Structure 1
Amino acid sequence: MLTIGLAQIDIHAGNPRYNTETMKQQIRRAEDAGCDVIIFPELTIPGYFIGDVWEQADFIADAIACGEEIRQAADTITVIFGNVAMDPHRRQKDGRPRKYNALFIAQNRRFIGPENSPYPYYIKTLLPNYREFSDTRYFTSLTEVAAEQHTDPTALLSPVTLSLGAAGNLCLGPLICEDSWDDSYPLKPMETLAAQYPIDLFINISASPFTLGKNRRRHRLFSKTLKKLHCPAVYVNCTGIQNNGKNIYTFDGSSSAYNKDGSLAYEGTAFAEELAIVRYNETTRHFATPQQNHQPPTEIASIYTALHYGLTSFLAASGLQKVVIGVSGGIDSAVNAALYATVLPPENLLLVNMPTRYNSETTRSLAKKTALNLNCPYAVIPVEDSVLLTEQQLQQVTNRQPRAARAPLTITQAVLENVQARDRSSRILAAVAAAFGGVFTCNANKAELSVGYATLYGDSAGFLALTGDLWKHQIYDLARYLNDHVFKREVIPQGTLDIVPSAELSAHQKVDEGRGDPLIYPYHDYLLAAFIEFWQRPTPATILRRYAAGTLEAYLGCPVQIRDIFPTTAAFIADLEKWWNLFAGFAVAKRIQSPPILALSRRAYGYDLRESQLTPYYSQEYKELKKQLLQS
């Protein structure tokens, strides 16, 4: 019976020394627990998302030196871990010394490599280069090594033979993360290894960010493949948070063990560090460990858990202890306030209401009630006078260049609306946060970010857009979840859930009269989600085709009948073009300048979606179909 420790640890990206000390502590714990083997995640020592720090030779040297310390620690236990490896005699495409994303196996204080590997470690075979992943920017793959040696990569894919003393040998199939997510690759490492060698156990070490539904997909994929190959596997993932500058990713761990029939024998606790002990029968090739399988949480429960965990970790990593939130009485700011209240003590969370003449007594009282429910400090700082001052200053602008033509300033209602938003964030919240000794938030949701329905340097500002990857309907679901399951009382007032969403920046946005945002969220949430989150991303031509065929609701998954919203085809097309022009136009510039977003979905704004500032484009097919529909 082989006793294996699955070391699901919180990796601190960019801090090899911290991670190495954590590994040593876990190795000692595993030894005390009688483990034969301990397995750590992918790139345990350097971390995964560290950007172009990968180009720093001194950092790489330090990470490799830390790996040598782990090798020395592997005297009475076998240690499997991820680290960067380097071949200083070869060059990558960028001209720098070659680096590999590698899996190391240390036993008896020496490294054991795969049978056919040119190095004493396993090289990641499949390097993801999509969404937030840029592995090919920094690493060389096993397939490239094979091409360089004028051989097929299947010749280099080989197992590691692990000596167990009196118990004999164990044939391990080493894999790193993407090597098991091989649906779209012509080379499939797991199938290749199983076809060529009598694999006793696959080992997959990963640094796999959390996204909604990803664990269920992984279980389906592993179960299907392992059942076909008739081979068991263990999967070890990290916890913690890492970022690529614009996106903050949570890592949920959820390390697992699978039997040879594909069944799930063990699943680690999500978003928690743990050293899980599993016992593997090398004769039957099954795990004898009592099963630990968790009931899959609901989507909204997963959203809350990831947000709470990510926020807690981000504040701790940033050393931030005090936060200021602008509260309007609306749903977005109330949900953000409640989320921060689950992490910070009440005295460290300051809520600020900044009314003008357009803010109703309804929303003012709801903002105050939210603060009372959360027992947080609350301040009211009106912006009416400063907005009027700015308007007067603009009206009094004079031309002080006598040889230049006068350029009159046009002060429209839209200009004044944006003045209010900027005054609240860039002036008041920024100053209050500095005086409070903290930072201020961005309360934006994903629908607003999609079309730029936020003022640049105004309500789009802040140190973090915690809910920036949530659609409006998810914000409402989260509000109810916070009341019912987290606080178990009404902290977000029912009135906030009931009123129409509104920016309250003009007389045309009176919530008491049911006048609010121009977005029709039960439809636009789903339309905009299609533009960014669908793997085959649609354009207006796709949407118009579906509309003409009467299948648009099913395609988008929206809960409303579109023809109930737009009585005519002309109205539907006008709305589509309005939001497409914003989504693909100026909203891109706003998104580029927006705060970091905590990522949860299949695609978040930031470096998960690479955007260029382009002119909104309509294909010829769209133009012809539009003409046909409007003439019919």
Structure 2
Amino acid sequence: MLKIALGQMDVIPGRPDLNTKKMLDMIHQARTQQADIIVFPEMAIPGYLIGDMWEQQSFIRDCEAFGQDIIAAAAGICVIFGNVAVDWEKRGDDGRPRKYNACFVAQNGKLVPDHRFPYPFRIKTLHPNYREFDDTRHFYSLRKLALDLKQDTESLLLPVTIKVSGKEYHLGCIICEDGWNDDYTVDPIAALAANGPVDLYINISSSPFTLGKNNKRNRVFSSQARDTATPLIYVNTVGGQNNGKTVYTFDGFSTVYNCAGEIITYCPPFREKLEYIELDPENGGLNHIPVAAADDNNISSMYQAISYGINKFLSTINMKKVVIGASGGIDSAVSAALYAKILGPENVLLVNMPSKYNSQTTKDLAAQLAANLRCLYTVIPIQEAVDLTISQISQTAVVCPANKKTHHLNITPFITENIQARDRSSRLLAGIAATFGGGFTCNANKSELTVGYSTLYGDQAGFLATLADLWKHQVYQLAGYLNSCIYEEEVIPQATIDIVPSAELSPDQAVDEGKGDPIIYPYHDYLFRSFIEYWHKATPEDILTWYQEGSLEEKLGCEAGIVSRLFPSPKEFITDLERWWNLYAGMGLAKRIQSPPVLAVSRRAYGFDHREAQNGSYYTRAYNNLKAKILSTC
């Protein structure tokens, strides 16, 4: 019987000193509880998403030294942990000393030896190069090492043998992506089984949260345990890490599967926890009663991830106060409810900044929101400043040096809209936030970010785009959840939920007349989602093909019948499609590149998760041919 401690820890990226201290504390606790083994996550010492800090040799040496501290602490207990490993005598593909993403197994104050393997640690085999991952930029994989050694990769996937109370146990140690091997030519689990015996698989991970990901993880890892008839332990980190443009939460959800693939225990998500389980590898953990896994594909998980992510990011940048532009609309209301719950209402200042286009309805709703949340509140009208800006620009002569001719700039209604948005953010919110001793938020949602329906240096500014990975319908879902489950009262006024979404920047957006945004969210949310979140990203060719086939609504997942209601003819449908595609690949992209960091919750978030080049919109030959064919029959 093995008593195993799962060290689900909050790994602080770039702080090996703090992480090591935490690990030493957990080792001490586990030893006190007479645990035989303690398992920590992947890259538990340095953190995982630390950018090009991996190019700092002094930092790498520090991580190695802290790793030695953990090895020395492995007395009376076996410690399994992730850290960077360096072969200073060899070079990686970048010409720097060769680094490995490694799993260390320490016992009796030293690493467990294995003469069959070239290093006293195990190396990550599969390096993900999709979404936010960029492992091959810095690390040498086991597959590359196998090529150097002129061996098959599978031959290097060897179990680690430890002794506990005089008995040998064979551990199949893998690192994160090694367990997600369906699309790779190497299957580390199968190779370890072939080179076995294996008594227990251990997957140390640093796996960011994605809505519904743990459900899939349970299916994948359960299958691996069941297919090999071997228990599997998965240990993941919690906390927040980022790659500059995208902020990620790590949910933990460390889990133990018995040899039948059943879950027998797991750590709660988004919480640091030292969990213990007594496991007998000989019976595969079948003596434990299986437990039901928590569903992470619901609004509760979304709220938990967003709330946790905000909290972690605020702590990282040491921000304790926040200013929010409260328009009376749904996005700013949801932001206010989130930040008030995290920081306390006394540290959240809501600012309503009406122009002549803002209705009394939304002004009253902004005030009601502040009263419900008990946040600080102020009203600062912007019309005088907007008029001054328009006057300064339109009345100032522009001179041509060559012929001394002068002309005046013409301010269009569209430019007037942008002037209002920038006055609110670049002038007022920025100045108020500095005075208040905090930062101001970006309230843009994913639908707006997709097509640039926000103003650069205006409402697309701020220190964090909290809602920018939520489609508009998800923002509404979150509003309902905040009222019913978090506050258990109507803090976000129902009228804010019911009112037509509108920027209120012109007479064409008068909410009291039912006029609002040009985005028809029940359809465009799903259209835009296909552009970015589908694994095989949809293009106008795909959309038009599905439209012609009559399968578009099924493919997008939107309401049945909505397309024909919105677009009576193919011409109108194509005009709408091309309008938004051009914005998505054009001005929307130009704005996204300069947007604040996005808090990720979906399968593909903007920022470094979804990498974009400013190449303009493109229509394939097949699209143009299909378009011509459809329009010719109208």
Q: Which residue of 1 aligns with 2:489?
A: 489
Contact 2:307 2:338 in 1 (8 A): yes
| In structure 1, C-alpha distance between the alignment counterparts of 2:407 and 2:149, rounded to whole Å | 68
**Residue aligned with 1:163, SS:** strand
The amino acid across from 2:85 in the alignment is A
Q: What whole-Å deviation, never above 9, does each CA across 1:257-292 have from its counterpart, x for those lacking one?
A: 000111111111000000000111132121645655
Q: Aligned runs of 1:451-530 on 2, under 5 Å?
A: 451-530=451-530
Contact 2:397 2:407 in 1 (8 A): no
Q: What whole-Å deviation, never above 9, does each CA across 1:177-201 have from its counterpart, x for those lacking one?
A: 0000001001000011112311100
Change in Cα spacing, 1:114 to 1:487, as seen in structure 2 (3 Å) is: farther
Q: Which residue of 1 aligns with 2:169?
A: 170
**Residue aligned with 1:105, SS:** strand
| Alignment TM-score, normalising by the size of structure 1 | 0.98
Q: What whole-Å deviation, never above 9, does each CA across 1:434-464 have from its counterpart, x for those lacking one?
A: 1111110000000000000000000000000
Q: Which residue of 2 aligns with 1:597?
A: 598
| In structure 2, C-alpha distance between the alignment counterparts of 1:106 and 1:247, rounded to whole Å | 35
Q: Which residue of 1 aligns with 2:369?
A: 370
| In structure 1, C-alpha distance between the alignment counterparts of 2:602 and 2:115, rounded to whole Å | 40
| In structure 2, C-alpha distance between the alignment counterparts of 1:146 and 1:408, rounded to whole Å | 69
| In structure 1, C-alpha distance between the alignment counterparts of 2:474 and 2:492, rounded to whole Å | 15
Q: Aligned runs of 1:391-406 on 2, under 5 Å?
A: 391-404=390-403, 405-406=405-406
Q: Aligned runs of 1:546-585 on 2, under 5 Å?
A: 546-561=546-561, 562-585=563-586
Q: Which runs of 5+ in 2 are unaligned?
A: none
Q: Which residue of 2 aligns with 1:356?
A: 355
Q: Which residue of 2 aligns with 1:615?
A: 616
| In structure 2, C-alpha distance between the alignment counterparts of 1:325 and 1:560, rounded to whole Å | 37
Deviation at 1:294, TM superposition (A): 4.4
Deviation at 1:598, TM superposition (A): 0.6
The amino acid across from 2:144 in the alignment is E
Contact 2:5 2:274 in 1 (8 A): yes
Mean alpha-carbon deviation: is it higher for 579-588 or for 190-199?
190-199
Q: Aligned runs of 1:191-590 on 2, under 5 Å?
A: 191-286=190-285, 288=287, 291-297=290-296, 299-404=298-403, 405-406=405-406, 408-561=408-561, 562-590=563-591
| In structure 1, C-alpha distance between the alignment counterparts of 2:154 and 2:290, rounded to whole Å | 35
Q: Aligned runs of 1:183-194 on 2, under 5 Å?
A: 183-194=182-193
Q: What whole-Å deviation, never above 9, does each CA across 1:84-142 have from its counterpart, x for those lacking one?
A: 00001100111000000000001001101556320000000001011100000000000
Aligned residues: 631
Q: Aligned runs of 1:32-71 on 2, under 5 Å?
A: 32-71=32-71
| In structure 2, C-alpha distance between the alignment counterparts of 1:51 and 1:295, rounded to whole Å | 32
| In structure 2, C-alpha distance between the alignment counterparts of 1:145 and 1:131, rounded to whole Å | 25
Contact 2:229 2:284 in 1 (8 A): no
**Residue aligned with 1:6, SS:** strand
| In structure 2, C-alpha distance between the alignment counterparts of 1:61 and 1:340, rounded to whole Å | 39
Contact 1:202 1:234 in 2 (8 A): yes
Contact 1:462 1:595 in 2 (8 A): yes
| In structure 2, C-alpha distance between the alignment counterparts of 1:497 and 1:328, rounded to whole Å | 13
| In structure 2, C-alpha distance between the alignment counterparts of 1:289 and 1:70, rounded to whole Å | 31
Change in Cα spacing, 1:535 to 1:325, as seen in structure 2 (3 Å) is: same
Contact 1:522 1:560 in 2 (8 A): no
Change in Cα spacing, 1:407 to 1:172, as seen in structure 2 (3 Å) is: farther
Mean alpha-carbon deviation: is it higher for 227-236 or for 58-67?
227-236
Q: Which residue of 2 aligns with 1:24?
A: 24
| In structure 1, C-alpha distance between the alignment counterparts of 2:240 and 2:294, rounded to whole Å | 24
**Residue aligned with 1:371, SS:** helix
**Residue aligned with 2:391, SS:** helix
Contact 1:13 1:49 in 2 (8 A): yes
Mean alpha-carbon deviation: is it higher for 531-540 or for 287-296?
287-296
Q: What whole-Å deviation, never above 9, does each CA across 1:25-46 have from its counterpart, x for those lacking one?
A: 0000001111000000000000
Q: Does 1:120 align with 2:142?
A: no
Deviation at 1:401, TM superposition (A): 4.7
The amino acid across from 1:254 in the alignment is F
**Residue aligned with 2:184, SS:** coil
* CA RMSD between the two structures: 1.1
| In structure 1, C-alpha distance between the alignment counterparts of 2:558 and 2:465, rounded to whole Å | 25
